[in-house]
Structure 1
């Protein structure tokens, strides 16, 4: 009874020194959060196309004898190859290689979002592999793209009036062999369904919504000596999450981050989360601070 209720002792000092050394190898600028006992670490990793990913690494009590577990906002996670001599940098490298394999999948999902009228989800994450697409005439198509083989014929399900849905379903079956990697994803869909697909519904208004700063709700900062070189400037920082892309004045974002208790400062950079989508953001501290 007493043994079961006994609290676990914190890791010894050499454990902390070892983990700090491994974080240094990865780069402190990539660390976005960590538990006090270093049982969990989160790193921000950019893929080759600039997409930001948060890699969460959970360290077991007997690390590095036992392999860590990882989680990330991806359609499927990679299997980590691990040995007693492995380090955090090896996990990050394997995760980068995994991201490389997923580039085609994300390019296809972006092609769908850019060219078709998406009903659901409104703000898809990088792990989301489905899209519900408006086909017109009260019909829609639920697509599931296979992340491991993104260019294969997707799984689909039709919704709408039976007469129209039956025609679309028959066209899909009849033309399925015409699916090819030589055409864009949305072009393949139009060929298989033998119909013109509606374009995005609100694309013309999207840029207008992003003109103002997401914090002060103004397009330009006041002309005031208080803002120095930023006086009268337009938003100059954009959230890197493609589903958000909210614009901010760096000055406003910096002040907002300072008001949040979870914000972390490393040297002259503030690390925190976007006020709208909670994706990581980072801004430099002003020289006059």
Structure 2
């Protein structure tokens, strides 16, 4: 019987706080328009017989309204503890992540706030809730797209909700300021789902790109990334920036690498725009327009990574930079490392504005004004 009653209470009051032995329950009771934190002792749970208020949890605010609370509860006569909770309209009291009850400054004085949040979350669907913090300030929801990818929506809910909008964080491939989010949780979730569905084709193409092509940046792409840097022939890196809503349109394209190769690829893009076919994937379009192949992923990641280590510092990622400058011999360099190489012998290089490749001694041309911040 205890288990059955507990399940019913959890169903009707899913976020009410209770002790492990079900003898102590904490929540809000509304009196004189104020939300007062109280603790109910239920020594004969699931019966309401012998229940009483626990005065040990009294604070200054509770004391001020204590007589009103006692009067309200004394008028209630019922047999079961569940009925008691229903009659006094017990509401949830949030807790912090370490299990302590939140302080007064973190709790809204609006008795309807937490029930409003719970109602809206339940309208979204409990199966779509990944996590709800104990203080009701953070909720993480999910939506699975048609390709079975799971996407996350995180809301940070302020005390002034819904007049004050929740802070929204998603894995959508847009800048945060590009979306105007509504104020209500359910409406936010519906808009999130709509954007996820619109981006499915984009993620399909990105999954293909990341699966077969050697992407050097980001090294661990996530769903919010709408740019890629990938390796082409001749040690050229192609920089791609996509519009996630029109993923198969011609992206913004630039290149880094040996100057003569970069010039050739740039010319191919300029002259081949009219060949772009939005019915094809980005990979196929770029190969057709550029007339070259992407460097494909190698099963041996260690060997592959070694081939793209900076020739100067022998690491791949340095100060959030990857090697983008290359020599015809295959050596690659971070811009900062090549700059350091340049200034280390400025008397030799200042006139010819070039750097000798440490491996093959070929000249690597540099801009007339060579600075780490602009190169």
Coarse TM-score class (shorter-chain normalised): 0.5 to 0.7
Match of residue 107 from structure 1: 204
1:199 aligns to what?
296
Which residue of structure 2 aligns with residue 69 of structure 1? 167
TM-score (norm 2): 0.48
Which has the higher relative contact order, 1 or 2, with Cα contacts under 8 A spaced 6 or more apart?
A: 1
Structure 1 residues 48 and 79 mapped into 2: Cα distance closer, same or farther (>3 Å)? farther
**Structure 1: distance between partners of 2:255 and 2:299:** 23
Q: 2:252 is matched with which residue? A: 155
Aligned residues: CA RMSD: 2.4
The answer to whether 1:48 aligns with 2:149 is: no
- The equivalent residue for 1:20 is 118
Question: How many correspondences in the alignment?
Answer: 196
- Match of 2:181? 80
- Alpha-carbon distance between aligned partners in 2 of 1:203 and 1:189, rounded to the nearest angstrom: 25
Distance in 1 between residues matched to 2:264 and 2:148, nearest whole Å: 41
Q: Paired residue for 1:32, among 124, 127, 130?
A: 130
Structure 1 unaligned residues grouped into runs of 5+: 1-5, 206-289
The answer for the alignment partner of 1:169 in structure 2 is 266
The answer on whether the counterparts of 2:131 and 2:139 sit within 8 Å (CA) in structure 1 is yes
TM-score normalised by the chain length of structure 1: 0.61
The structure number with the bigger radius of gyration is 2
Q: Map 1:1-289 onto structure 2 (within 5 A).
A: 8=105, 10-12=107-109, 13-76=111-174, 77=176, 78-82=179-183, 87-202=184-299
Distance in 1 separating the partners of 2:180 and 2:106: 30
Deviation at 1:120, TM superposition (A): 2.0
- Residue 213 of structure 1 aligns with which residue? none
Comparing 183-192 and 69-78, the one that deviates more: 69-78
Cα distance in structure 2, aligned partners of 1:148 and 1:46: 18
What do residues 88-118 of structure 1 show as CA deviations (whole Å, max 9, x unaligned)? 2222111101111111221221222233222
Instruction: Determine if contact 1:60/1:68 at 8 Å carries over to the other structure.
Output: yes
CA contact (8 A) 2:248 2:279 kept: no
